[in-house]
């Protein structure tokens, strides 16, 4: 029988940072534990995305993780360790690219294509403006995170409530107080944060549908997640996730988000595809 406690890190920021300390096995291979905060028996996709970013960043410290495109093939079991394999496709002066595969035994969970990039000076520059949603102090504290991961929703929106109807939009302020200054860890923490809201955003316009019903009467899962980093940021400071879901149908949903610093810089963008369907009868 598997010793689940040996494969689980405790809740809190220290526990999340612990699972981001990958154990090197040589030849681009790593072993990692799971983070127990999210609950349930399936590994949270945001954790796998964060570990992917850390593994890819280790390939070339002279470059930054520029973008990651993850395809979630299967769920991971919380009571089993993770095997992480990094395959370097190429590395040059300006760019590098790697694939990162996370498995449990012979069960492939997620495979990602990661682009590495060396910073360069501007030739041109523009960005979308910060949405007019008010500052973090005016937003409503949510139970999504905790004191180690602060989450505040604009206008007090509760995406878990099936009876709370609204447009398929959600603005969330988030930060990890005490986060280390390491840029790779900061990107990993933001990756963790971006994974958890777009399914609920897609559910908002639909009566009787909310995240509280996920894995109960509704089957939900993240299928793909693409995250692109634009500017340096501090994951310990407030970041706004401005999210929308322009389409849902045929058992799927599509969502996208922009990440802004409190001073208005566009620091990242992300896109997510999800499964949202009835739980098959009898299962």
Please write the tens of the pLDDT for every residue from 42-85. Answer: 899 999 999 999 999 999 999 999 999 999 999 999 999 999 99
Q: 37 and 5: one domain?
A: yes
Tokens, residue 235: 């994951």
CATH number at residue 250: 3.10.129.10
* Shared-domain flag, residues 44 and 139: no
Same domain, 113 and 138: no
- 106 burial class (0-12, 13-18, 19+ CB within 10 angstroms)? exposed
Judge whether 114 and 68 are in contact, CB under 8 Å: yes
Range of the domain at 54: 1-119
Residue holding tokens 């035994």? 105
Number of domains in the chain: 2
For residue 12 the two structure tokens come to: 């809190």
- Assigned token pair, 11: 């809740």
**DSSP string of 207-240, one letter each residue:** TT--GGGBTTTEEEEEEEEEEEE-S---TTS-EE
Contact criterion met (CB below 8 Å) for 180 and 17: yes
DSSP state letter for 172: E
Question: Across the 283 residues of the chain, what is the mean pLDDT of every consecutive 10-residue run?
Answer: 62 94 97 80 94 98 97 94 97 97 97 97 98 96 86 90 90 97 97 95 88 75 97 98 97 97 98 89 60
Q: Is the CB of residue 59 less than 8 Å from the CB of residue 91?
A: yes
Domain assignment present for residue 34? The answer is yes
H or E element: which one contains 191? helix 183-194
Tens of pLDDT, residues 74-96: 999 999 999 999 999 999 999 99
Domain for residue 138, yes or no? yes
Domain membership of residue 124 (yes or no) is no
Strand partners, 89: none
How far is residue 85's CA from residue 149's CA, in Å, rounded to a whole number? 28
pTM for this model (two decimals): 0.94
């Amino acid at each position: 029988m598997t010793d689940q406690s040996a494969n689980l890190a405790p809740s809190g920021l220290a526990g999340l940072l612990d699972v981001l300390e990958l154990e090197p096995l040589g030849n681009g291979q790593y072993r990692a534990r799971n983070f127990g905060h999210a609950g349930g028996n399936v590994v949270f996709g945001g954790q796998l995305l964060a570990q992917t970013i850390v593994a890819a960043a280790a390939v070339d410290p002279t470059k930054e993780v520029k973008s990651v495109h993850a395809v979630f093939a299967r769920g991971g079991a919380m009571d089993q360790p993770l095997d992480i394999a990094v395959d370097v496709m190429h590395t040059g002066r300006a760019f590098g690219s790697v694939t990162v595969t996370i498995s449990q035994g012979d069960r492939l969970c997620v495979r990602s294509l990661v682009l590495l990039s060396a910073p360069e000076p501007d030739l041109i520059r523009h960005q979308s403006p910060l949405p007019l949603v008010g500052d973090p102090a005016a937003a409503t504290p949510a139970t999504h995170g905790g004191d180690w991961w602060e989450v505040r929703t604009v206008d007090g929106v509760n995406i878990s409530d099936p009876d709370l109807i609204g447009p398929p939009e959600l603005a969330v302020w988030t930060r990890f107080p005490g986060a280390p200054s390491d840029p790779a860890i900061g990107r990993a923490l933001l990756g963790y944060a971006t994974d958890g809201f777009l399914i609920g955003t897609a559910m908002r316009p639909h009566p009787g549908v909310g995240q509280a019903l996920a894995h109960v009467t509704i089957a939900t899962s993240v299928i793909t997640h693409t995250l692109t980093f634009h500017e340096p940021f501090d994951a310990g400071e407030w970041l706004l996730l401005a999210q929308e879901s322009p389409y849902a149908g045929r058992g799927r949903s599509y969502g996208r988000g922009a990440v802004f610093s409190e001073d208005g810089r566009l620091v990242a963008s992300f896109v997510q595809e999800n499964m949202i369907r009835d739980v098959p009868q009898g299962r």
